[in-house]
Amino acid sequence: MTPLLGAQKRVLVVEDEEALLSTLCDELEESGFTVEPAVTGEEALRKIREKPLDGIILDLLLPGGMDGLGVLAQLKESEQTKDIPVVILSNIGDDEKVREALDQGADAYFVKTRYSLEDLIERLRLLFQQKPAPPAQRISP
């Protein structure tokens, strides 16, 4: 794939299915993004505090004490992270859960059984054009 607009953009991928996490990271890197993987909500929040990010791909069902909606809520409550684009990628496709995630501030929602990597990457690129993240800064715990 040709790296267009993905260059220099740092994306956090939060996914607990190892094979899917690996595929997403590989495809995003091939498309010119810098990728940070995370498996749990807690790990995602720690990485968000440690390094500036331009976008997040977030699963809703995560192991540990915090699910994807919990991560999303914390991101959108913070002045430092509220403008980072978040794309949900989940097995949950019911209208109520989709609406809840979008109402909480997710910028896009993809159902795992009905998405393509090309569409996901294109949506990220469009979000970066429409809604640039704040200038890179370290986020304090």
Q: pLDDT tens, 93-118?
A: 999 999 999 999 999 999 999 999 99
pLDDT score at 42? 97
pLDDT score at 139? 38
78 pLDDT higher than 50: yes
Structure tokens at 63: 């192991």
136 pLDDT higher than 50: no
Q: pLDDT tens, 32-72?
A: 999 999 999 999 999 999 988 999 999 999 999 999 999 99
Q: pLDDT tens, 10-29?
A: 999 999 999 999 999 999 99
Alpha carbon dihedral 141, 68, 19, 30, in 10-degree steps, equals -70
pLDDT score at 131? 63
Please tell me what DSSP assigns to residue 128.
Answer: H
Strand order across the 55-58 sheet: 34-38, 10-14, 55-58, 86-90, 108-111
Write the burial class of residue 10 (CB in 10 Å: 0-12 exposed, 13-18 middle, 19+ buried): middle
pLDDT score at 140? 36
Q: For the chain, give every domain's residue range.
A: 10-129
Residue carrying structure tokens 């429409």: 130
134 pLDDT higher than 70: no
What would be the CATH architecture of the domain defined by 10-129? Answer: 3-Layer(aba) Sandwich (3.40)
